[in-house]
Structure 1
């Protein structure tokens, strides 16, 4: 591939061609107009000179006489003073045509010497139309002339003025225009090259920034991209500013994307490691009890071992189911580019669901003090997947029961509130009510360093707590994934004396119109 000309020289060449074309047009118009002006002046002089000849309006009677070579008994010889008469400029050709024959013709040079005309020149003069306007003829060695003939059918007086001086003036004008054009083109190209180079210097800086980014080793996890287009280059001109601003935004997006990728890879590594750790324990337990069962013949021991193996198998199954649920929600979200709706969309009576889950928790953990607060008299209905929403409620109640000591007061509340900023974008867009589900307890607060990653999967804090209390560490991650899939939001606030998990789920009006009759 050949070398592509730079934008700088393209601009210079384009402007130079434009200047040349403009100068050529202006020069051509000037030359044509100036030559027309000179020809008009020459025609005026020619008309004056023709009228001064004998037989013209201002001249005397023409000399009479026979043509050269005729008999002396016809007419007297013409007066040679007709050639070079007063008022005629040097080089003026005059002739008298009688009966289609030049009886007298010649011109006087700048030294005052008279010269005759050749037969070809005489023939050319006889062809001039009497009474017509000035015309241009070629008199051979004498050059081109402007000629005019006056007179009647008798003697015709022909006067011709040379065009040599006029052509010389036009040639000088063309030379001057050419020299000025060349000099102007050189100066303009030089100045334009400097201006273009100065104007494109910020663009070169932008290109240097882009080239510098390519030198970074982004494949090895380099997420810091310090290269940016300077503010001085952004304000140099509008076009470069637009390109530089777009490049800075692009680099910012790339840096954030690399950071997200790095964090995702780190999270995936941690996820795999923690999942492997969580699965290793039940697998080791199953293997150990299987080996013990092979070595004993005691049926009671075998039954106990099988029962323990069954519990560990259930534990592994629950962990795999939770992982599959998170993977399914993640895949759906990535496919649509936004939080997705659950796979099942049907009327869900959230009031009944919360009441049942609270009663189950009270029966499972009687050492805790459970309180249920339902503000609304009518059932609170939402559209979604009942199984997944039940999992959300159960996980939050289990989390409160598992990570707080006996005697802790757990308050479960459910109410309908107007749409708020805490709800998701889809909830706000519906302009409907929001169902708020809160699980609060007065147990030990959650460490502040664990709050930002509390809903992540297998985070260090969640993982340590799960190992301590025998849970998978995926409960809160599932809560967030399911709530977001329903278009809602979940948040936590923890301080000494109160820890509260708050879930907001939208209630679109168009869905409520269909759900209310079903609840009745």
Structure 2
């Protein structure tokens, strides 16, 4: 048996990705999407939290800006372009409690009379005209806004009106943005590391989970390598029970494959048996026809070489007897062929009419008593009205005559043959049961299972001695099946009984009963 991995690789068409990697890729994409969403929500929430804290600090810083009640105390500072300090006493710029790089501006009549910041070294710096213009655009007494002050970067600014002047305070967003960047890098790194680890673990898990499925595929591949045309129809490979219990999905596939292989095995066995039966059938039919054909040829040759009229008549009589035998055999073969076609639904349906089985049984029993007076014939009919079945009269009559002929031919003189007919209940309605029993020698036990097969004989030499073809009981079974009935046999020392059950006709008129007491009928 080839390895499951090789079978799996061999079964991959072209460059189509394997199921394993498609599952891994799908789960990896889902993990990436989930982590991206979670990371984005985390970053946004964290930034909102930091901005909220910064706005709180900004409100506190704006509230600490001095000089709101003394506009005249606001220094005008050096003229624009001067390198000197605007607020040498640090009353506004770099006032106690202000953080480094805090920008402060005082606007009067839309002009900045004071604008600057103190760096971490305590040195005071002025703002450029463009930076002052940005501060002048901040809406007074509104919520904090984010502004960009050129080279200084991004700030969070708030303007408060006091005593006719507008005091603008701005805190840098650099530390906040650096924190956000660190968080993004951290989330991205964790996401990447988690993705790599999850993909590795998932690939191993999926590979382990799909190994039973690969072994199921290997079983299917092994079946394709078997020579089912000429080899044993029994398929030896099956999905192992351990793989059936691996998981529900693989168990379902494996169970379905095992059932399929079982059906294929049974179909191949039936085909093999049918082919063997057909070969046996052809051989037996050829053998049965060969004897009368040889007889015809022999007596035809004798007739050509003889001038004796009596010999010619005797030869013609024997030729006629052989021809009758051949004709009967051909008729029986044709009947079986028609019944087979009906069973396969490829031939015409049998004629359906009400058949008086009571009259047929009485007639056939009287004929049997006449042709075999050395047997004792007993007829038993339980009902007081005719028992009718639905079917073809000719075929139903053949069932009765074949069973009686079988009893007459294969039992010695003095045997009692009891023919009984009665109505019995069935699963789908009433049945008419015909039983032909005799007290002659039992049928060999090894013959019983195949007794209704074609060309089956209890004792071949005895059958040929009586001129039987071995098709009578096969016809009985085929006709019974075509009429929706069954036939069975039970044989033991002292009693052999053939039982035929046929569906009763839907409507039956009251009639008569016939009972025989051995030799006669009344």
TM-score by length of 2: 0.90
The answer on 1:406 being equivalent to 2:413 is yes
Consecutive unaligned residues of structure 2, counting only runs of 5 or more, are 1-12, 81-85, 514-522
The answer on 1:205 being equivalent to 2:215 is yes
1:462 & 1:341 partners in 2: Cα distance? 36
Tell me the CA shift for residue 294 of structure 1.
2.2
Partners of 1:391 and 1:479 within 8 A in 2: yes
Partners of 1:136 and 1:144 within 8 A in 2: yes
Tell me the CA shift for residue 55 of structure 1.
4.4
Other structure's SS at 1:370 match = strand
TM-aligned CA distance change 1:276 to 1:96, over 3 Å:
same
Pick from 174, 178, 182: which aligns with 1:168?
A: 178
Q: Give the match for residue 7 of structure 2.
A: none
Q: Give the match for residue 54 of structure 1.
A: 66
Tell me the CA shift for residue 442 of structure 1.
1.2
Pick from 350, 358, 361: which aligns with 1:354?
A: 361
Pick from 509, 519, 522: which aligns with 1:516?
A: 509
The answer on 1:247 being equivalent to 2:257 is yes
Partners of 1:144 and 1:163 within 8 A in 2: yes
The answer on 1:498 being equivalent to 2:495 is yes
Q: Give the match for residue 390 of structure 1.
A: 397
1:174 & 1:399 partners in 2: Cα distance? 98
Other structure's SS at 2:345 match = helix
TM-aligned CA distance change 1:392 to 1:342, over 3 Å:
farther
TM-aligned CA distance change 1:193 to 1:518, over 3 Å:
farther
The answer on 1:301 being equivalent to 2:311 is yes
TM-aligned CA distance change 1:462 to 1:208, over 3 Å:
farther
The 5 A counterparts of 1:98-113 are: 98-113=108-123
1:43 & 1:437 partners in 2: Cα distance? 107
Partners of 2:350 and 2:482 within 8 A in 1: no
TM-aligned CA distance change 1:213 to 1:2, over 3 Å:
closer
Partners of 1:83 and 1:108 within 8 A in 2: yes
What is the root-mean-square deviation in Å for CA atoms of aligned residues? 2.2
1:101 & 1:472 partners in 2: Cα distance? 131
Q: Give the match for residue 423 of structure 1.
A: none
Pick from 120, 129, 133: which aligns with 2:130?
A: 120
Q: Give the match for residue 150 of structure 2.
A: 140
Question: Which has the larger helix fraction?
Answer: 1
Partners of 1:93 and 1:160 within 8 A in 2: yes
Partners of 1:92 and 1:159 within 8 A in 2: yes
Q: How far does the alpha carbon of each residue in 1:456-508 deviate from its partner, in whole angstroms, 9 at most, with x for none?
A: 0023647555323211110000000001111111111111111111111111x
Q: Give the match for residue 317 of structure 1.
A: 327
Tell me the CA shift for residue 15 of structure 1.
0.8
TM-aligned CA distance change 1:62 to 1:323, over 3 Å:
farther
Partners of 1:347 and 1:383 within 8 A in 2: yes
TM-aligned CA distance change 1:20 to 1:518, over 3 Å:
farther
The answer on 1:439 being equivalent to 2:436 is yes
The 5 A counterparts of 1:254-269 are: 254-269=264-279
Q: Give the match for residue 446 of structure 2.
A: 449
Greater CA drift, 476-485 or 126-135? 126-135
Partners of 2:71 and 2:165 within 8 A in 1: no
Tell me the CA shift for residue 226 of structure 1.
1.9
2:296 & 2:453 partners in 1: Cα distance? 28
Q: How far does the alpha carbon of each residue in 1:47-104 deviate from its partner, in whole angstroms, 9 at most, with x for none?
A: 1111111345xx765634557549xxxxxx8665221001110110111122222121
Other structure's SS at 2:440 match = coil
Q: Give the match for residue 30 of structure 1.
A: 42
Q: How far does the alpha carbon of each residue in 1:254-286 deviate from its partner, in whole angstroms, 9 at most, with x for none?
A: 111111111111111000000000011111111
The answer on 1:43 being equivalent to 2:50 is no
TM-aligned CA distance change 1:177 to 1:9, over 3 Å:
same
Other structure's SS at 1:222 match = coil
Tell me the CA shift for residue 291 of structure 1.
2.0
